[in-house]
Structure 1
Amino acid sequence: MQNFEKRRDRYNAFASFENPLVNLSFELEVPDFRPHCKHHGLPPFHFFLYHVLHAVQGIENFRYRIYRGEVIEIADFWASYTVVNQDNNLNFARFVMTDDLREFIARSLASKQEAETTTQLINTAEDLSEYEQRRNIYITCMPWLKLTSVEHPIYEHKTYDIPSLAWGRFSDPRADGKLTMTMSVQAHHGFVDGYHVHLLAQAIATGIAKSGVSSANRTRAQP
């Protein structure tokens, strides 16, 4: 928590606001991972989700939470995201994070199937303890839309401390091997500034590139 103490005065300032949240929408540019996923039999959404969540986990400011009136730093969090169920209603998938990509995807697919086939609203965090509820990240994807901005429903702005990420439709393939989408990042401004959102965007792109996607795109571009 040494790094947090360097910005405690910023936290105290924003914590006094009725709405201390910052919400930034921006164009995220990453290596086009879709050919890589097709070649290796990986579902693109779950591949991307893996890199998004691990990028979030690697930035300390996104791990700060408010617990019983004190600021804490969580070590890890649940992997969770919104799903459309068989009735075309909202549901939630949730599973335990892992560093292994294929195991992460297997868990994600299993959780997605459960959320899709369940008519009741599940994984709402009501089954978790007060502390376990802090170990969360909210993720939503709207692949039908070219997202420009989003406003998330908030029960109480003043004490809201869990980051929310959203993105929309991926761009068409580009000649330079890049993929773009609009991403929205919402977080407590006492913890996160625009700089940290910039770090997150960089970390997502770097993680995807390190997975071998960049070399796959260069190979595709050769005559």
Structure 2
Amino acid sequence: MEKKVVFENAHRKKHFEFFNTMNHPHFNITANVEISDFLAQIKKQQLPTTYSLVHLLSETANEVKEFRWRVRNNEIIEHSMVHPSFTVPTDEADVFSFCTVTFQSNLNDFIEEAKSVRDAMKTNPSIEDEPGRDDLLFMSAIPWISFTSMQHAMHYHPHDSVPRISWGKFFQQEGKTMMPLSVQAHHALVDGRHMGAFFEKVEQKLRSIGDR
């Protein structure tokens, strides 16, 4: 389900038009987030790390409405819900396949569907986007590197407005387990305030997963 977004505020409209005309309107922020409590809780509950993390990040993105906005024909469309399309290894080659899973608020139901889609992708991998579909969140894990920045491949003409969310190798810092988290979004839709809200919500959820 989707609806059209029309800005009533003149400055917000000008902000959209300013960034939307750029060749590369995306901006990226990378920060380290603590995942000590998150890892302890999913281990206690015997939950898979990747799917639990994808679910948490997808849930957070859905709570910040600007992460559900997309530019389509120079207009803004708001989706009622967006869904993760994340990378998984395959049996066919040493490169990844996309694994697109319908987001569900129930974590266990989401994990079961993710496992099913992942199993299908192992022998029948997909690298193509679904034509005309933009209700997605592009996600990827880089578990070999505790990176400090990230740049994603994408079309410049025309550019898309799907956010990119990536995480890297966990590392220890002052007795805490940390994870680099990179978020790339279309600046005509998402501003620093919205990006900050996303990171704040992620950090809160990582601390309180055991209460959910």
- Of the three residues 183, 204, 208, the one matched with 2:206 is 208
Cα deviation for residue 99 of structure 1 reads 0.4
Equivalence for 1:89: 95
Q: Which moved more, 1:45-54 or 1:201-210?
A: 201-210
Cα deviation for residue 165 of structure 1 reads 0.8
**Which one-letter code corresponds to 1:60 in the other structure?**
K
Question: How do 1:60-209 and structure 2 match up within 5 A?
Answer: 60-86=65-91, 87-118=93-124, 120-122=125-127, 124-126=128-130, 128=131, 130=132, 133-156=133-156, 159-172=159-172, 175=175, 178-209=176-207
Query: Any gaps of 5 or more consecutive residues in structure 2?
Result: none
Alignment RMSD (CA, Å): 2.3
Cα deviation for residue 188 of structure 1 reads 0.8
3-state SS in 1 of match to 2:189: coil
CA contact (8 A) 2:88 2:97 kept: yes
CA contact (8 A) 2:5 2:78 kept: no
CA contact (8 A) 2:37 2:207 kept: no
Cα deviation for residue 17 of structure 1 reads 1.4
Question: TM (normalized to structure 1)?
Answer: 0.83
Deviations, residues 130-169 of structure 1 (Å, cap 9, x unaligned): 2xx1111100001111112221111225532110111101
CA contact (8 A) 1:33 1:213 kept: no
Cα deviation for residue 190 of structure 1 reads 0.8
Q: Determine the C-alpha separation between the residues in 2 that align with 1:181 and 1:49.
A: 14
3-state SS in 2 of match to 1:32: helix
Query: Any gaps of 5 or more consecutive residues in structure 1?
Result: 215-223
Question: TM (normalized to structure 2)?
Answer: 0.87
Question: How do 1:18-57 and structure 2 match up within 5 A?
Answer: 18-57=23-62
- Greater share of strand residues, 1 or 2? 2
CA contact (8 A) 2:6 2:76 kept: no
